[in-house]
Amino acid sequence: MGSLKKFLTLLLVVLMAQQVFTAITNDQQCKNKGGTCKNPKNCSGTVLSNLCPGGNDNKCCVPKTTKMKINQKGLDLIKSFESLKLTAYKPTANDVWTIGYGHTKGVRQGMTITKAQAEQYLKEDVAGAENAVNKYQSKYKFTSNQFSALVSFAYNIGSIDQLTAKGTRTIAQIRAKIPEYNKQKGKVLAGLTRRRQAELKLFDTK
């Protein structure tokens, strides 16, 4: 009887440990989705099942996110550095063919566009840059000026994945890294240096 009691006690300890491990694991799965485990009645966002321990009274709640848009300061910054060109050109010898406000997709030598087309390209390209920054908005909660500065950065570079180290850097570290992106093929360019400084100034504007 003594041995059986010890066995049952040990079995109970193992089962409890498994439950704790499962709870921790499930809670982490919810966190990986950007949510927290809570009563679904108190969730104003999206409720996800099977990611939290505790049955129907404890589910993963992912808050609703509103996509941010670039502000006028950020848009003016992009326009000032890209400048409007209605005929295809290469900004530097190492660049690809460019037109409008820095638009490159589908551009070929000799191509011409109207100002209305340039504005449409700008709208489309800015939307892509906004998406690149909104990808990290739920983590960093960027202010309007920080967000807009980074949209300008993404418009020029393509994304902020490397700048943020895929979301592992702090905002202070991101800020410190912005000026470093002023080179093309290892050579410092005055225009990129000025742009990074302008973006940094907007990033710091309260």
List 82, 119, 124, 130, catalytic entry: 82
- Looking at the DSSP assignment, which residues form a beta bridge with residue 187? 184
The single-letter code of the amino acid at 55 is G
Residue partners of 163: CB distance under 8 A and separation at least 6 = 150, 153, 157, 169, 174, 177, 178, 181
- b/e map 171-198, b = 16+ CB within 10 Å: eeebbebbeebbeeeeeeeeebeebbee
Question: Is 82 marked active-site?
Answer: yes
Q: At which residue do the structure tokens 């700008």 appear?
A: 122
- Catalytic residue positions? 82
